[in-house]
Amino acid sequence: MRIDVLTLFPEILESPLKASLLGKAIAEGRIEVGLTNIRDFALDKHRTADDAPYGGGPGMVMKCEPLYAAVESLRDQNSLERVVLLSPRGRTLNQSIVRELAAAPDLVLLCGRYEGVDERVAQGLCTDEISVGDYVLSGGELPALTIIEAISRMVPGVIGDFESVETDSFYDGILGAPQYTRPDEFRGMTVPSVLKNGNHAAIARWRRKEALRATVARRSELLQQSVPEDQALLAELNEEADGAGLENGPEARR
């Protein structure tokens, strides 16, 4: 898969793209990432890529001409069928969108800056807008890295054992289960015995149940996507909660 990133500050992305599993995947050719400096397509000697907004107001707006020229320069190496603007008004990134993007052969990520991009870029050039959350960043570079990292995990061979991806939080719509490693006991806290008995079916059931428990407690809205097989485990969690309520209620304290 190829991902092209258009940015005013390619140096923000250069170092992270060389690190860890993502850097290894790029070095091995499993995923290709190209960085294009938008200023290289400015029309004046000062490499101006922004201007004051029509109608007045604070800040600057990224200009049409350099952005269109930068994207169109990629025609020989990118289909340009998916040009994504990183924007606070876009679809909020989730694992479903990551899978959608990962299924494409290539992708263009356009990093906004300042007060945003000229609306004609969003309307006439971009095919999608994506946000990484309801908060303010200085530009789209960090969201672009987030998307690249998430997509790379879906590319075969990037993660050595694909099962480790399948157990990630949100992979199948809910949070992940708790994880433990050595030592068996630490400051009075012990590893659940089920994880040490070698019964893989029991371990899988425990992990699914604990993943559901975490989701109920922290992100209950995700359970709208739960599968029918989870209903028995959810019923058990409800019974446990009801039992805990009785134990802690007025009768238990008399």
Residue 117: CATH number of its domain? 3.40.1280.10
Q: What is the pLDDT of residue 25?
A: 95
Residue 171, domain member (yes or no): no
Query: Domain check: are 145 and 205 in the same one?
Result: no
Query: Domain check: are 17 and 136 in the same one?
Result: yes
Q: What is the pLDDT of residue 249?
A: 58
- 91-101 pLDDT, tens digit each: 999 999 999 99
Strands 32-37 and 2-7: parallel
Query: Domain check: are 189 and 123 in the same one?
Result: no
Query: pLDDT tier at 173 (50, 70, 90 boundaries)?
Result: confident
Model confidence at 250: pLDDT above 80? no
Averaged pLDDT score across all residues of the chain: 91
Q: What is the pLDDT of residue 244?
A: 81
Q: What is the mean pLDDT of residues 119-132?
A: 97
Query: Domain check: are 130 and 223 in the same one?
Result: no
74 close to 41: Cβ distance less than 8 angstroms: no
- 50-73 pLDDT, tens digit each: 999 999 999 999 999 999 999 999
Q: What is the pLDDT of residue 252?
A: 47
Query: pLDDT tier at 253 (50, 70, 90 boundaries)?
Result: very low
Catalytic residues: 88, 115, 153, 168
Residue 172, domain member (yes or no): no
Residue 54, domain member (yes or no): yes
Q: What is the pLDDT of residue 246?
A: 59
CA 218, CA 122: separation in Å to the nearest integer? 35
Query: pLDDT tier at 163 (50, 70, 90 boundaries)?
Result: very low
Q: What is the pLDDT of residue 159?
A: 83
Q: What is the mean pLDDT of residues 216-222?
A: 91
Query: Domain check: are 190 and 146 in the same one?
Result: no
Query: Domain check: are 196 and 147 in the same one?
Result: no
Query: Domain check: are 45 and 123 in the same one?
Result: yes
Task: For residue 227, give its domain range.
Answer: 185-253
Query: pLDDT tier at 160 (50, 70, 90 boundaries)?
Result: low
Q: Please give the tally of structural domains in the chain.
A: 2
The pTM assigned to this predicted structure is 0.84
Query: Domain check: are 126 and 51 in the same one?
Result: yes
Query: pLDDT tier at 168 (50, 70, 90 boundaries)?
Result: low
Q: What is the pLDDT of residue 174?
A: 86
Model confidence at 117: pLDDT above 60? yes
Query: Domain check: are 191 and 145 in the same one?
Result: no
Residue 158, domain member (yes or no): no
